[in-house]
């Protein structure tokens, strides 16, 4: 996560306020103050993050996308909660959520995410089932607001940037969906995680230099 917020030209270590070195492991950093130690220089990554709106109303995905995601997942893949009424055609409380927002198709193509899709969507690669997940509606809103994300490079761990919503922070994406050949592709999950870090962490990660150091 540190490597997303900052750009280094040399190696670095992280230490807490009491001077203890923070080891790199699978645990999230606790809230607090940290010092970055490097023999080189660093700068804040000024890469813009992509603003998105909730995929409802005029921004709702096409029916073909919705149906494909429902048929694959049959429940919220982040909480593991099944859509119990799906057998009766009722999906109330569950939303087929795009990982990369459909309203930004130009950026999707420009950055080559279309090349990672192997199952075409009805309205282009961005509407592929591989760019979607079925989520409980409240989780979907948090995901689209970048409050929740999934790190595909850390065992598909669910990361919360705003408290432990639904007690799922630190858990992992449903293994059933990961074993499905129609699963969301890592490139798109990685994009969302990077966006979430830039949107949430960078504002509090501006370097503050002590003139007495």
pLDDT (tens digit, 9 = 90+) per residue, 173-190?
999 999 999 999 999 999
Q: Positive or negative, the Cα torsion across 13, 16, 27, 97?
A: negative
Rounded to two decimals, what is the model's pTM? 0.81
pLDDT at 167: 86
Query: Mean pLDDT throughout 130-150?
Result: 96
Give the pLDDT band of residue 6 (cuts 50, 70, 90): low
In this structure, how many other beta carbons lie within 10 angstroms of the beta carbon of residue 168?
Answer: 21
Residue 212 has pLDDT above 60, yes or no: no
Residue 136: strand pairing partners: 94
State how far the Cα of 177 lies from the Cα of 162, in Å rounded to an integer.
25
pLDDT (tens digit, 9 = 90+) per residue, 69-121?
999 999 999 999 999 999 899 999 999 999 999 999 999 999 999 999 999 99
State how far the Cα of 4 lies from the Cα of 47, in Å rounded to an integer.
9
């Amino acid at each position: 996560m540190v490597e997303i917020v900052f750009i280094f030209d040399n190696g670095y270590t992280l230490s807490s306020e009491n001077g203890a070195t923070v080891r790199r492991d699978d645990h999230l950093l606790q809230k607090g103050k940290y010092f970055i130690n490097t023999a080189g220089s660093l700068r804040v990554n000024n890469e813009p993050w992509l603003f998105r709106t909730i995929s409802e109303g005029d921004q709702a995905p096409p029916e073909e996308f919705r149906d494909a995601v429902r048929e694959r997942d049959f429940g919220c893949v982040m909480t593991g909660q099944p859509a119990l009424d799906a057998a009766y055609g009722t999906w109330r409380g569950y939303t087929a959520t795009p990982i990369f927002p459909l309203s930004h198709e130009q950026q999707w193509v420009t950055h080559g995410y279309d090349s990672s899709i192997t199952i075409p969507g009805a309205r282009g690669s961005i509407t592929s089932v591989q760019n979607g997940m079925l989520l409980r509606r409240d989780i979907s809103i948090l995901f689209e607001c970048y409050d929740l994300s999934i790190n595909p490079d850390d065992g598909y761990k669910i990361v919360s940037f705003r408290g432990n919503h639904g007690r799922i922070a630190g858990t992992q994406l449903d293994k059933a969906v990961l074993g499905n050949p129609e699963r969301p592709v890592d490139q798109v999950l990685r994009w969302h995680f990077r966006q979430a870090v830039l949107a949430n962490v960078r504002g509090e990660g501006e370097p503050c230099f002590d003139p007495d150091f």
